[in-house]
Chains A and B, each alone.
Chain A
Amino acid sequence: MGAKQTRSAQKYQDLTDKTGFSPEQIKNLHKRFQHLSDNEETISRENLEKIPALANNPIRKQIIDAFFDKRNQHQNEVGAFQEIGFEQFLMVMSHFRPPTLKTTEEEREAMRKEKLRFLFNMHDTDNDGTITLEEYRKVVEELLSKSGAIGLEAAKAIADAAMLEVASTNVPHMAPDDFYEGITFEHFEQILKGLEMESRMHIRFLDVDTMTMRCGKSKS
């Protein structure tokens, strides 16, 4: 459904159930969405690329692609959108919600899986279910892309070492002729276990109007 039809409470209620945001947070995000889309119903990649603050971000392209990635909509589709509506926007944003005091252990686990899945999708660009060496190299290269020539040389070495580490941790005893296809989602989960993604991968969603773009810590 398009997002602009009516801003009725029912609509917001729907979204609240689906994404877990509170109605105030949804309202704020909607305002932001409209600002980004110039009051259109959908945004395209150009809208996001125009954000000035993103220009300095080395992984800008991946972030923008993640918004248009169908896999992040949790509807078992693959491919990419050309434009997304507010609901899809919100869906992607919901990956960055923090756990609350009331989150149970199972919910935390589920949240962690979801966030890791998001990251995995960002790396696995050809959607074959594994992160191959080439894809991983690309990731590290992009990370170091703002660092000039030193970055590019070292990127390959770092990616290789990292891949080796994943393989050693997950499949310790490989015969010399075996080939490690790529990092599967399970292996990915395993190596990032220590980071506790549900406590790290989140941002603060404000409940109060922030269109003035102040650096604010507001009360919830």
Chain B
Amino acid sequence: MPSRTGSHSPAGIGKSLPERGLLLLMVLVFLEGSVLPLGAASSPDTSHQTNLGDHQGTHTGPNSTKKPFPVLAVEYDRVQIPFEISLWVLLASLMKLGFHLIPRLSSIVPESCLLIVVGLLVGGLIKLAGEEVPPVLDSRLFFLCLLPPIILDAGYFLPIRPFMENLGTILMFAVVGTLWNAFFIGGVLYGVAQIQPANPSDLHQLELLPCLLFGSIISAVDPVAVLAVFEEIHINELLHILVFGESLLNDAVTVVLYHLFEEYAGVGTVTLLDGVLGVISFFVVALGGVLVGAIYGILAAFTSRFTSHTRVIEPLFVFVYSYMAYLSAEIFHLSGIMALIACGAVMRPYVEANISHKSHTTIKYFLKMWSSVSETLIFIFLGVATVDGPHAWNWTFVTVTVILCLVARVIGVVGLTYVINKFRIVKLTTKDQFIIAYGGLRGAIAFSLGFLLNQDHFPMRKMFLTAIITVIFFTVFVQGMTIKPLVELLAVKKKQEAKRSINEEIHTQFLDHLLTGIEDICGHYGHHHWKDKLNRFNKKYVKKCLIAGERSKEPQLIAFYHKMEMKQAIELVESGGGVKLPSAMPSTVSMQNIQPKKPPPAKPVERVLPQLPKGREEEIRKILRSNLQRTRQRLRSYNRHTLVADPYEDGFSDLLIKNQRMVELEKKVSDALLVSTKEDILSFSDPQAYSMKPVSDSVPTIQVDLASPQSPDSVNLLDEFRHAGQQQPEVEDQGLMMKPPSGPSGPNKPREADEARDQQKLMRCLSDPGPSADEDEDEPFLP
């Protein structure tokens, strides 16, 4: 396989030899193994089943001679189909791995191009090996298995706010733009085909309707290709959602046009009545698809309300309901893509409020995994199908098609933007228009639709397929590769990488209400007014039905805050219990910096440690014990079918309340503590080994087993219980004054503390409020 090794060896510069060798070996073995069975798929000959134990099935008859018992037999047919599918998936995944081992390549060439090349190579290899290339881009396989995961992933994680704000623009591009493209390309192609009476060519056979059909197939912007390319260029949210939204919503138009022209291509004419019916059909297809999706979405949301006891199958509901929505829409020839998008978008807010955090992560990862594999497979199959053919190359047709696609797109975008800008408040600039036009990539959907065409009705099918493939290659390779440098060149605004902060969230909400209010004062019912009405309706009725328990009344701001806290807490725990807070910027600001100062006390500083009232101590002990118990629960035995109660989720709201109480207690305790944001209280639940010294009779000694090894550093940072003499215990709402610790522990601790402080601040767990003065202060409280 000279070509294969050739493509790998120069790229291994800088990599170690064994790594390179391993990769090569892997690829070689894999390809050897894959080419043969893949080829054998189409050919029924079983000559490969020779190697070992060559006793074939001895079913020749009941009175055949007795053969010795086959120790080892090979029977490939039984596992053929799943085996091949797995092989293809494995190939796709290994390719994905491989690309990232070659650093420079993946930054120049978008992944989609590389995958198509791989597909070409594999197809070429199969052909070379003399086997028939399997018809991999079979339309049923494509539309029923490969496409839904990608669309569901897109729909579930669709950013609703920018989508809704720009819905008008997106619809204009999707509907009017696609219609314009289809008719322009189809019409001009027909015109071109009819000219040149001098040299009669195949083109003259081309009639109008097949041309229009071809136009409608080729004009649709493809969501898979757009996603694949745009993901890597990180442009700003507006442009991304415009192009991507357009690629999703033009499915309805494509479906209607396709079916319309396909129906009547056999007959040969389309009357006005058919046209009108087509328009009606468009609305039915689009709205019907959305309706089907929304119904399934609500069903899924409603089901998720009751899953609190069977958390394990929660993700399954999301996937199955969405897939059912897609299939149901396909039954009626409604737009499956729109159904899937509607289902994902509708169910998401409610499902996320109901399911556990683990299920949420599962859904996210499964969707990303499936869509990633699907995308990879689609591009590889495109390459393989290209090698397969059937091809009928016609220079005129193909070149005119490519040129027309570009021209039609540019004219369409410019014209539509001119109209749209009259209605938009934030107008689209020329740069935006260029990116939108340039981002109109075609992909595998066009190919599959072409593949579906009936050869009898469309004698020019092969030519169409060739042209479609050429256009796809052109857009993916040329436009895909050059869009990134162009974005840099034109200095198009990029996506902001900053994480959403609580301040932004507060002000987004504030702005929403403010703008609604101003609109009301102005007296016209605009965009904000209706959004507000919808929100209120949602809060009042819908949330109550679809969200379980208390969370139905949770306002969005609080939900956001909880999510943020949860994320920070998990980050904290994952980073080993406090060595580093990855999300926080190195900052030494803590709660007491923002609490208003208290006037200095009149009394001189005393060295006596105050004692907390007995009631408080009791409370603290109770909190400790319950937290520790929960930790214990986690360490118990694990049943495959149940998820152990996770302190991070089911008890989270309790934890938060305790959190609050802890914070208040902390203020009452007058020792100097290093304080930070509340997330650190959860480090309490982390299984760490610590023992509480019996400082007084009232505080028990509790031992907890280590579930995970703790580095001594991290543990040290968690201590710092300052037993310095303090001022009076302070009243609620007053901050704490940090005083340098005095006493024997003084010298060592502050230095440690300073280092610790430079990195982050962790909340000192308020385990022991009142150590007596003679306690061994060198021992950290939480070792």
CB within 8 Å of B: which residues of A? 29, 32, 35-36, 48, 51, 53-54, 56-60, 63, 67, 93, 96, 98-101, 119, 122, 132-134, 139-140, 143-144, 146-148, 150-151, 153-154, 157-158, 160-169, 171-180, 191-192, 194-195, 199-206, 210-211, 213-217, 219-220
* A to B CB contacts below 8 Å, 10 in the list: A35-B523, A57-B520, A63-B521, A98-B426, A133-B596, A147-B555, A168-B589, A203-B528, A215-B530, A219-B422
How far apart are A184's CB and chain B's nearest CB, in angstroms? 14
A202 to B515, CA, bound (A): 7
B595 at the interface (CB under 8 A from A): yes
- Per the 8 Å Cβ criterion, residues 505-522 of B in contact with A are 506-511, 513-522
A59-B510, A213-B523 known; A173-B517 Cβ under 8 A? no
The reply to whether B524 and A166 contact each other, CB–CB distance below 8 Å, is: no
A98, A176, A199, A211: which contacts B738 (Cβ < 8 A)? Answer: A176
The reply to whether B521 and A139 contact each other, CB–CB distance below 8 Å, is: no
A54-B517, A139-B510 known; A161-B502 Cβ under 8 A? yes
A101 to B554, CA, bound (A): 40
B502, B518, B555, B596: which contacts A162 (Cβ < 8 A)? Answer: B502
The reply to whether B529 and A176 contact each other, CB–CB distance below 8 Å, is: no
The reply to whether B555 and A151 contact each other, CB–CB distance below 8 Å, is: yes
The reply to whether A203 and B515 contact each other, CB–CB distance below 8 Å, is: yes
A150 to B539, CA, bound (A): 15
The reply to whether A194 and B496 contact each other, CB–CB distance below 8 Å, is: yes
A130 to B522, CA, bound (A): 30
The reply to whether A164 and B524 contact each other, CB–CB distance below 8 Å, is: no
Q: A174 — which chain B residues lie within 8 A by C-beta?
A: 588-589, 593
B275 at the interface (CB under 8 A from A): no
The reply to whether B520 and A54 contact each other, CB–CB distance below 8 Å, is: yes
How far apart are A85's CB and chain B's nearest CB, in angstroms? 15
Binary flags per residue of B580-613, CB closer than 8 Å to A gives 1, else 0: 0000111111111111110000000000000000
The reply to whether B429 and A168 contact each other, CB–CB distance below 8 Å, is: no
A176 to B564, CA, bound (A): 25
The reply to whether A203 and B518 contact each other, CB–CB distance below 8 Å, is: yes
The reply to whether B585 and A220 contact each other, CB–CB distance below 8 Å, is: no
B310 at the interface (CB under 8 A from A): no
A132, A144, A165: which contacts B503 (Cβ < 8 A)? Answer: A165
The reply to whether A101 and B589 contact each other, CB–CB distance below 8 Å, is: no
Q: A219 — which chain B residues lie within 8 A by C-beta?
A: 422-423
B713 at the interface (CB under 8 A from A): no
The reply to whether B594 and A180 contact each other, CB–CB distance below 8 Å, is: yes
B677 at the interface (CB under 8 A from A): yes
A189 to B206, CA, bound (A): 63
How far apart are A28's CB and chain B's nearest CB, in angstroms? 9
- Per the 8 Å Cβ criterion, residues 383-418 of B in contact with A are none
A158, A177, A179: which contacts B557 (Cβ < 8 A)? Answer: A158
The reply to whether B517 and A165 contact each other, CB–CB distance below 8 Å, is: no
A194 to B590, CA, bound (A): 24
- If A165-B502, A180-B594, A202-B515 are given as contacts, then 20 extra A-B residue pairs at C-beta distance below 8 Å, sorted by A number, are A54-B517, A57-B517, A59-B510, A119-B507, A147-B553, A147-B554, A157-B660, A158-B561, A165-B501, A168-B589, A174-B588, A176-B757, A179-B593, A179-B597, A201-B511, A203-B518, A204-B425, A213-B524, A213-B525, A219-B423
The reply to whether A195 and B510 contact each other, CB–CB distance below 8 Å, is: no
The reply to whether A158 and B558 contact each other, CB–CB distance below 8 Å, is: yes
For B525, give the chain A residue with the smallest CB separation: A215
The reply to whether B518 and A93 contact each other, CB–CB distance below 8 Å, is: yes
The reply to whether B511 and A172 contact each other, CB–CB distance below 8 Å, is: no
A5 to B508, CA, bound (A): 40
How far apart are A133's CB and chain B's nearest CB, in angstroms? 6
For A169, give the chain B residue with the smallest CB separation: B585
The reply to whether B513 and A58 contact each other, CB–CB distance below 8 Å, is: yes
The reply to whether A160 and B594 contact each other, CB–CB distance below 8 Å, is: yes
The reply to whether A194 and B498 contact each other, CB–CB distance below 8 Å, is: yes
A162-B502, A167-B594 known; A99-B426 Cβ under 8 A? yes
Q: A144 — which chain B residues lie within 8 A by C-beta?
A: 555, 557-558
A157, A168, A194, A213: which contacts B584 (Cβ < 8 A)? Answer: A168
The reply to whether B501 and A143 contact each other, CB–CB distance below 8 Å, is: no
Q: B558 — which chain A residues lie within 8 A by C-beta?
A: 144, 147, 150-151, 154, 158
How far apart are B558's CB and chain A's nearest CB, in angstroms? 5
B532, B592, B660: which contacts A153 (Cβ < 8 A)? Answer: B660
A199 to B515, CA, bound (A): 13
Q: A147 — which chain B residues lie within 8 A by C-beta?
A: 553-555, 558
